[in-house]
Amino acid sequence: MGIDEHISTFAGRTIVPLGRAALLNQLEAVALRIDVDFESAEQGTTISERFEQLARRENLARLEALVIGSWGEPWETDAGPVVQELVALSRRLPRLKALFLGDITAEECEISAIRQTDCSPLWAAFPQLEELWIRGAEGLSLGEIQHDSLRKLVLEAGGLSSAVVGEVVSARLPRLEHLELWLGTEECGGDTCLADLAPLLTGEGFESLSSLGLRNSSITDQIASGLAAAPLLARLKVLDLSLGTLGDEGALALLNSSRLSGLRKLDLHCHFMTDNVVVQLRKLPCEVILTGQQQPDDWGDGEFHRYVSVSE
């Protein structure tokens, strides 16, 4: 999933904008999208007005998937009002299973500039929630995470802070099957180091986890080396280290690991590995995605510089 255009499907459902959903009776069959684009914001439309339109739907209780796009000027106004509106409407959304907060393209707002908020009220407000996606990490907080239904958590960012990562790795999510963190760069607030991920790599507290994405990271080699010896790796069916700075060091650590036998898919697209290591990875007995081979930048300072795919 890229960030250059809005998603067209979510949680296995086609996305339908709120304005085109007036005649829809089976809301459970689609993912409804509400947003305030730049032109609407210029005309004075607010995200609260969009929620008022949503609240007027008589069959709202049947909605299971909701996508929130831009809330006007997300580089100036945080997502606080969005979370407040969601919580206020939660009793009328008893079947909500999937929520995307921030389906905002790079053209609308750079990912590192999206102002998020304290999203912790969502946990209690939506006990049936199975899937939560959040894009942008400026000002993001998840609080003390305890949720018995959540199966998929995705945090997309140009830089994910160690504080937020700490909230995730200490979470109590007994049914979580898929975890995806876009760790980003320190310049964009991504100060997470391998030690911050250590509680996750033990696998303790994440007994249902089978798909892990530690993506878009400036320390992918360190992460791969840590994973190679981690108890969690032996349980994973899908490992995604794409969009980051993976080179030969991290890749060889994985190749030499004795814990890869359960993997069905290894996604390493957008990487900095050499041809020789790529050839070795292709011999693994699982699906391996190796597209997007890149070369480090040479700035003439005697060092070669790698870069993540999504930062600003």
Distance (Å, whole) CA 30 – CA 21? 9
Encoded amino acid at 195, one letter: A
Encoded amino acid at 143, one letter: G
Q: State pLDDT tens for residues 14-42.
A: 999 998 876 677 899 999 999 999 889 88
Q: State pLDDT tens for residues 50-94.
A: 999 999 988 899 999 999 999 999 999 999 999 999 999 999 999
Sheet with 211-217, edge to edge strand ranges: 9-10, 13-17, 30-36, 65-71, 98-101, 131-135, 152-156, 178-184, 211-217, 238-240, 265-267, 287-289
No. of helices (H) and no. of strands (E), the chain = 9, 14
Please give the full DSSP string across 184-234, using - where no structure is assigned.
E-GGGT----HHHHHHHHT-TT-TT--EEEEEEETTHHHHHHHHHT-GGGG
Q: State pLDDT tens for residues 141-180.
A: 999 999 999 999 999 999 999 999 999 999 999 999 999 9
State the pLDDT at residue 10. 98
Neighbours of 219 (CB within 10 A): 22
The model scores a pTM over 0.85 = yes
Q: Are 199 and 205 in contact (CB under 8 A)?
A: yes
State the pLDDT at residue 19. 84
Q: State pLDDT tens for residues 100-132.
A: 999 999 999 999 999 999 999 999 999 999 999
Mean pLDDT computed over 285-295: 97
**Residue 90: burial class (beta carbons within 10 Å; 0-12, 13-18, 19+):** middle
Mean pLDDT computed over 200-208: 96
Question: What separation in angstroms does the CA of 231 have from each of 18, 161, 199, 228, 236?
Answer: 45, 24, 11, 9, 10
**Which candidate, 134, 93, 95, 131, places its Cα nearest to that of 111?**
134
180 has which bridge partners? 154, 213
Band of residue 200 on the pLDDT scale cut at 50, 70, 90: very high
How distant is the alpha carbon of residue 284 from its chain centre?
A: 27
Distance (Å, whole) CA 265 – CA 263? 6
Distance (Å, whole) CA 239 – CA 143? 26
Q: What's the CATH architecture for 9-305?
A: Alpha-Beta Horseshoe (3.80)
Mean pLDDT computed over 258-276: 98
Minimum mean pLDDT among 24-28, 134-138, 194-198, 276-280: which range? 24-28
> Tokens standing for 188?
């964009």
Longest dimension (CA), the chain: 65
What does the domain layout of the chain look like in residue ranges? 9-305
